[in-house]
Each structure stands twice: as C-alpha cells, then as structure tokens.
Amino acid sequence: MIVSVDRLGRKVSQNFEYIADLLLLTYLSFRSTLIGQTEGWRTLYSVISAQIYFTGWQAMPLIIFLAIGSGALVAMQSIMQMTFLGGVDYVGNFMLMIIVREIGPLLTALIVIARSGTAVAAELGSMQVNKELDALKTMGINPLSFVIFPRLVGGIVSVLCLSFYFVIFATLSGALVCRIMKGMPFDVYFTSLSQAASMSDVFVFVIKNFMSGLIIFSVCCYQGLKVEKSPHEIPQMTTQAVVKSTVYVLALNFLITIYFYFGSIMNLGIL
Amino acid sequence: MSGVFKNIKFSKVSVGFEGQEILQACDFDFPMNKNCRFVFANDREKYFFFHAASQVEGFTAGSYSINQENVLEMSFEDFMKFRINMGFGFSTRGLLQNRTLRQNLLLPLEFHNLFVGPERVEWLNNCLEYFDIRSDLDKRPSEVSPSTQKSTLILRAFIHQPELVFLDTPEALLSKRHQANLLQMIDDHRKHHNLRHLFFATADEDLSDCLADEYIILSKKRLKHVTTQNKSRGVA
C-alpha cells in the first residue's frame, strides 16, 4: 500500500516537474523573443508564417472532411433522439454542446498532434542531432526565439483557426442534415443555435483551443529538444510527445468542461 | 582600427561534458591577432573545447573573460556584442537542413540586418569566388556532396566578416584546390576585412605549416603554448 502511494506520489511530482519545465520553456521563448530580439523580426515573421502554413493551411482539407462528417453524425443522432422526446427545435443546443464545446476543440487538437506535433518533435530532434541548434547559436540566433517561439505562436494560431473552421463546417453540415432528414428550415436551425450560444461558450472555445495549442507545441518542442545525440532517440521522443500531449490536452478539456458544467449547475441552484 | 576582442582569458576554468572533464582549473591567455592551431588528443576533446569556447557552454568552474568581462555571467543577449563578431566553422553537420545553401549562407546576414539589398548579393558573390558552389546554391544540404556542405560551413563562418573565427578541421572533405582557396580567403579577410584572431584545429600538417603562427596543446586538462620550433615535439 505504502509502495503504491510512494509510486503515485513520484508520478504526480514528476508531472508537476514536467509542467514546470514546459512553462519555463514557454516563458523563456517569449522572453528571448520580446526582450532580446532587435533585428530578426522579419526572419521570425517568415518562420511563423511557414508554421501556420504547415500546421493550419495544409490541415484544412482533413479538418473540413472531419467537421462535415462529425457535424452530420451529431445532427442525425440528435434529430433521432429529439424526435422521440418531441423537441426537434432544440437540435441547435445539442450541436452547440457537442460540437462547439467538446468535439470541435478535441478533434482539432488530436489532428494537430498527429499531423504537426509529431513533425515538430521529429524536426527538433533531428536539428539537435545535426547540431543545427548549435549552429544557430554560433550565428548569434537564439534557438528559443528562432525555433521555439514561432512554433508556439504558429501552433496556437493554427489550432484556433482550425477549430473555428471545424465548428463552421460542422454546424453547416448539421443544418443540411436537419433540412434533408426533417425538412427543418435553415432559419429555425440557426435561430436555435444562436439562442443556445452565450458569451461563455465563446470564452470556453477560445480558452480550450488556445491552451490546447500551447500544450501541444510546448510538449512537442520540449520532447524534440530532449534528443541528445543519436538519431535513434528521435522516434522515441516523438512517440512520447504524442502520448504526453494527448494526455495533457484531454486532461485540460476535461477540467474546463467540469468547471463549466458545475458552473452551469450551480447557476441553476441544483448544487 | 581597434577590434572588439582586446583579450580572451581562462581563469581557473574547468570544462566538462557528459560527466567527463576536459579542462581542470586551467589558466590560459588566448594569443591575439594570430592564427593559432589547437592540438587535441582526440576528436571528443576537440569538439567539446570548441563548443565551450564558441558557445560558452560546459563551464563548471572559473571564469572565461573577454576584455575583462566574465562572459559566463552574461545572458545570450548580453553576449551578443561578442558573438556577432565571432564565426564558427563546424567540422561536419551544422547546416540547417530545411533551408537551401543560399538561405544557410544568408541567414546570419538577414537576421542581423547586415549588408542590405544589392550589397548582400554582391558580398555573397564575392564569397563564392573562393568556393564555387553556385550551381548548388538553391539545393538543400542533403542534396549536395559532403564537400559542398563543408564549403558552405566554412563560408558561413566568414559570411558576416567576423573578427574572431574558430575552425574545426577546415581541411576535411576539401580538395587541395579548395584548401588553397581557404588559405587565400583567410588571408584576404585578414587584409581587407575584420579577421584578426583565428583558432583552428587540423589533422593536416601541411595546412598547419602554412597557417599556424602558434601552437596550443591540450594536455593533462591544461592548455599550453608550444613554440613553432618545438611544435613537432609538442604535437607528438
């Protein structure tokens, strides 16, 4: 029993240490860019643009495909259940709860982890092995501002944009399904959707996606930097990057949802 | 014209990497305004010494001072005034793989806003006179020969007209003709540009004879001067 408690304690403290390292990496990359950067802004801007292009723009077809599919599925299931309960007009609430609050941010984050998180971890790992980060330092270019900062900023912007487009396409496909299956007019669907939405949904959406982007790219950069000298470490660190960023993103989504859910229940006076 | 580097000094310096110490309580004044050849017992010592001296990493004790300022206490930004005047020619590797050779060469100039506009292109063309890699300039490092990669590494060390250059095995992978061009380039940089201090390691005695004014040997975790007359004994 005590051994298990010890083991659990060790795991918890290791996770706290890891999170502290991630925060330090993020802080130092922003600090070195905002304080130390004097001349390289144009070069940095091009690196950030490239990151947004690879992470955001190139992932758009996959995100649109998934959004249309999941939006249609959620709408279909909602309509079927709500027909039995006699509340088809509330399908907008379902779409908002499931797509905007949960599936949109989560699926987008998982796609970004699979597509770009792995690429970032592997790229940084191979940069370590090839002494590219040392080379940057010898050129007077801080890797924290030239390599890490653009990936963090580009990653966060991309996740926010991708998630926004996911929600747009998912709700549109939902509208189409409602129209085809139930003959629901578009204005009824969108009125239901807009009545269900509140400012807190916008806030939760932004905070979830911002934090997911930050977690994914700080974890993947950190794991990439942990590669020391041998190429065989690259796949190991990439795998760890995927596992850790998935776990942290899921935990974050879970915590925000719980906070939001309990907040709503407390507002209703149930608890 | 006065240079940026007045003196460079190790005081009771210890340097260690991966648990292995290569310098221990070492006092050493770097010879200034000279071409100095550093001699090491093995590649590991050579790599870690150059890594420590050029990137200010791996120091476990003592002080590393440039112009009486301890650079070990400086942040990356504070050290920039010296770093911008230093060049480093890697032995192998060190090229950015996701950039073309042209982008690799121009990166320090673009980042530090040196040689604006047509001047930059003109200066690049001037540098390419020594190593003709024009046909490969728009290829990535993985698409060119190791010799072209090495030429790019050397050119990049000199591209921002540094005052101090570290060269790790500059002759490796270069043809005799390119080695001669390298000597010419160093000579031209000394005469017409900012180069004043050159610290290098080589396995080529001919190149060393042509280039070295002084020999410094790392032995028993200390750096020692060896006079040119005694170099063969020192090197051995």
Which of B44, B96, B159 to substitute to test the interface with A, most A CBs within 10 Å? Answer: B96
Q: Do A140 and B80 touch (CB under 8 A)?
A: yes
B192 touches chain A (CB under 8 A): no
Q: Of A104-108, B101-105, B152-156, B212-216, where does mean pLDDT reach its minimum?
A: B212-216
- pLDDT, residue A39, reads 66
Give B233 to chain A, closest Cα distance, Å. 33
Backbone angles phi, psi at A200, to 5 degrees: -65, -30
Across the interface, of A127, A131, A139, the residue whose CB is closest to B107 is: A139
Biggest CA–CA distance in chain A, Å, is 69
Residue B22, SS3 per DSSP: strand
Q: Do A32 and B76 touch (CB under 8 A)?
A: yes
B93 touches chain A (CB under 8 A): yes
Per-chain mean pLDDT for chain B: 89
Q: Which residues, given as ranges, of chain A have pLDDT below 70?
A: 36-39, 270-271
- pLDDT, residue A176, reads 93
Residue B202, SS3 per DSSP: coil
A124 interaction partners in chain B (CB closer than 8 Å): none
d(CA B59, CA B79): 15
Count Cβ–Cβ pairs < 8 Å, chain A vs chain B. 70
d(CA B155, CA B128): 8
Q: Do A138 and B88 touch (CB under 8 A)?
A: yes
How many residues are recorded in chain B?
236
DSSP classification of residue B201: E
To the question of pTM greater than 0.95 for the whole model, the response is: no
pLDDT in tens, A83-96: 888 777 788 888 88
The yes-or-no verdict on residue B230 having pLDDT over 60 is no
Q: Do B97 and A36 touch (CB under 8 A)?
A: no
Q: Do A141 and B111 touch (CB under 8 A)?
A: yes
d(CA B220, CA B40): 11
A42 touches chain B (CB under 8 A): yes
Residue B17, SS3 per DSSP: strand
B19-31: average pLDDT: 90
- pLDDT, residue B153, reads 94
- pLDDT, residue B235, reads 41
Backbone angles phi, psi at B166, to 5 degrees: -100, 130
A153 and A214 in contact (C-beta within 8 Å)?
no
Q: How confident is the model at residue B236 (pLDDT cuts 50, 70, 90)?
A: very low
Which of A51, A139, A151 to substitute to test the interface with B, most B CBs within 10 Å? Answer: A139
Backbone angles phi, psi at B21, to 5 degrees: -90, 130
How distant is the alpha carbon of residue A214 from its chain centre?
Answer: 8
- pLDDT, residue B228, reads 62
The yes-or-no verdict on residue B232 having pLDDT over 80 is no
A42 interaction partners in chain B (CB closer than 8 Å): 110
Residue A73 identity (one-letter amino acid): L
Going by C-beta distance under 8 Å and a sequence separation of 6 or more, which residues neighbour residue A24? none
Q: Do B94 and A131 touch (CB under 8 A)?
A: yes
pLDDT in tens, B69-120: 999 999 888 898 899 999 999 888 899 999 999 999 999 999 888 888 889 9
CB neighbours of residue A187 within 10 Å: 9
Sheet containing B164-168, strands listed edge to edge, beginning at the edge strand earlier in sequence: B86-89, B164-168, B197-201, B35-39, B214-219, B222-226
